[in-house]
Amino acid sequence: MKVTLIMGLISLIFFAAFVGLFVLIVRALLKYIKSKDVRHEKSETRKSLGEALKQHRSSCKMTQEFVAEAIGVSRQAVSKWESGASDPSTSNLIALAKLFNISAENLLKEVKQPD
List the domain boundaries for the chain.
2-34, 48-109
Q: Is the pLDDT of residue 45 over 80?
A: no
Lowest mean pLDDT among 1-15, 20-34, 76-90: 1-15
- Write out pLDDT tens, residues 91-101: 999 999 999 99
Please give the share of the chain, as a percent, with pLDDT higher than 90. 65
Of the pLDDT bands very low, low, confident and very high (cuts 50, 70, 90), residue 43 is low
Class of domain 48-109: mainly alpha
43-51 LR contacts (CB < 8 Å, sep 24+)? 44/110, 45/109, 45/110, 45/112, 46/112, 47/110, 47/111, 47/112, 48/84, 48/111, 48/112, 49/81, 49/84, 49/87, 49/88, 49/108, 49/111, 50/81, 50/82, 50/83, 50/84, 51/82
Amino acid 37: pLDDT: 80
